[in-house]
Amino acid sequence: MLYDLRKAKARRKKAARRELNRPMFVPCFPAEDYAARQQAAVAAWYVRIFEFYNIDPAAPSCWHQLAWRLARELFPDFQLTNAQPKAGNPGTREKVMRLFEVFENYQVPAGAGSKYKNFWREHRAECAACKIKTAESLRLAMGRARRLAERDRANVELLLHAAAVKAYGIES
Are 107 and 130 in contact, with CB atoms under 8 Å apart? Answer: no
> From CA 117, how far away is CA 132, in angstroms rounded?
12
pLDDT at 18: 67
Structural domain boundaries of the chain? 15-74, 90-167
Torsion sign, CA atoms 80, 83, 89, 90: negative
Q: How far apart are CA 61 and CA 45, in angstroms?
A: 18
Which tens digits make up the pLDDT trace of 73-89?
777 777 666 555 555 56
Q: How far is residue 52 from each of residues 5, 57, 68, 106, measured CA to CA in Å?
A: 20, 11, 14, 48
Mean pLDDT lowest among 16-20, 31-35, 94-98: 16-20
Q: What is the pTM of this model?
A: 0.45
Over residues 108-159, the pLDDT tens digits come to: 877 778 888 889 889 999 988 888 888 888 899 999 899 988 888 888 888 8
